[in-house]
């Protein structure tokens, strides 16, 4: 069953539409990657799903229920978390405080969730009292992931989790994403590093010019030579 279903989505800024009819879906406990050349509308798709850009046309359903027009603080209550591409931690707050902010809508005890996050990311557990602005890029990305997990979501939207990271750190992040999925969270991920993303995904979509061009299993897309050409305009 699909936890997220996007049909014929059209959205963009004022008069310019970036997405011109995107249809994707993400099953329970699937990792789905969205790749494509720059300017294809990948980030816009994420923001449109998460209610940060108003949708002009089409439908977005979470768990069979339309979520169009909902604001982010309503969506997180439903069990959807979003990790933006950059500026995704509060730099003046400590690691622990960042995690608490992730669970802002929760009123119960957070220690259990926080322990789980620290278990997943021992690196930030050591720095729980440090101000997050002093963390490295990788540390910040881990913190952002951890913060999104504080709500124990059922679907995680990741916008380029590997952007700006050194190869070793990046691989570590991807491993963590796999672990998160194995713990029972569905993941929809936009990634620039197509090889890595498709390599770990159940399925993938290739977005070109605001439309999904290819849809297949991760392996099949990786093997498809057309996909590589798309990036250099050979379509």
Partner 1 sequence: MLQLIANGIIFGSIIALGAIGLTMVYGILKFANFAHGDTMSLGAYLALLFLSLQVPFPIAVVLAIAVSIAVAILIDHYLYRFFRTTGPIILLIASVGVALFLRNVILLFWGPDLTYYSRAIHLDFEVIPGISMNSYEIGIIIVTAALIVLVHLFLKKTRIGKAMRASSDNMDLAEVVGIDTRRVIIWTWSVGTALAVFGGIMLGLENGLRPPMGWQLLLPLFAAAILGGIGQPYGAMVGGLIIGIAQEVSTGFISTAYKPAVAFIIMILVLLIRPQGIFGGSKRWI
Partner 2 sequence: MALEMNVEMKNSDDLLKVEGICKSFGKMLAVNQCSLEVSKGTITALIGPNGAGKTTLFNLISGFHKPDTGKVFLKGDRIDGLRPDKIFHKGLIRTFQISRELEKMTLLENLMLVPGQQEGEIIWNAWFRPWRVRAQEKQVKERALETLRFVELFHLKDEYAGNLSTGQKRLLEIARTMMADPEIVLLDEPGAGVNPTLMNKLIGYIHQLNGRGITFLIVEHNMELVMTICDPIIVMNAGSILTQGTPPQIRNDERVINAYLGD
Q: Does 168 bind partner 2 (CB under 8 A)?
A: no
Q: Which does 197 bind (CB under 5 to 8 A by kind): partner 2, partner 1, none?
A: partner 2
List alpha helices for 79-166, DSSP H. Answer: 95-102, 111-120, 122-125, 137-149
Sequence-ordered list of residues with C-beta below 8 angstroms from that of 227, at least 6 positions apart, any chain:
35, 194, 206, 214, 221
Which of 11, 116, 115 minimizes the C-alpha distance to 54? 11
- Give the position of tokens 């049909």: 7
Q: Which helix (H) or strand (E) holds 163?
A: none
Q: Which does 15 bind (CB under 5 to 8 A by kind): partner 1, partner 2, none?
A: partner 2
Q: Does 194 bind partner 2 (CB under 8 A)?
A: yes
Q: 84 to 143, contacts with partner 2 by CB under 8 A?
A: 136-137
Q: Does 101 bind partner 1 (CB under 8 A)?
A: yes
Q: Which helix (H) or strand (E) holds 168?
A: helix 167-182
Binding site for partner 2 (CB under 8 A): 15-16, 37-39, 136-137, 160, 162-164, 167, 191-197, 227-228, 231-234
Binding site for partner 1 (CB under 8 A): 50, 52, 71-73, 76-77, 82, 84, 87-93, 97-98, 100-102, 104-105, 131, 133, 147-148, 151
């Amino acid at each position: 069953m699909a936890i997220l279903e996007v049909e014929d989505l059209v959205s963009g800024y004022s008069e310019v539409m970036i997405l011109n009819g995107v249809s994707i879906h993400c099953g329970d406990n699937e990792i789905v990657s969205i790749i494509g050349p720059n300017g294809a509308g990948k980030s816009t798709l994420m923001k449109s799903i998460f209610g940060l850009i108003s949708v002009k046309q089409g439908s977005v359903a979470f768990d069979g229920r339309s979520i169009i027009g909902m604001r982010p603080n309503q969506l997180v209550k439903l069990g959807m978390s979003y990790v933006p591409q950059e500026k995704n931690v509060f730099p003046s707050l400590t690691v622990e405080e960042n995690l608490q902010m992730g669970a802002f809508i929760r009123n119960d005890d957070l220690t259990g969730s926080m322990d789980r996050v620290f278990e997943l990311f021992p690196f930030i557990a050591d720095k729980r009292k440090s101000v997050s602005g002093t963390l490295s890029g990788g540390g910040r990305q881990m913190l952002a992931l951890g913060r999104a997990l504080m709500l124990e979501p059922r679907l995680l939207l990741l916008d380029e989790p590997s952007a700006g990271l050194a190869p070793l750190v990046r691989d570590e992040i991807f491993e963590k994403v796999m672990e998160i999925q194995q713990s029972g969270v569905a993941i929809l991920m936009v990634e620039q590093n197509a090889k890595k993303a498709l390599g770990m995904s159940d399925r993938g979509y290739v977005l070109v010019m605001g439309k999904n061009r290819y849809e297949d299993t991760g392996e099949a897309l990786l093997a498809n030579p057309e996909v590589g050409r798309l990036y250099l305009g050979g379509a």
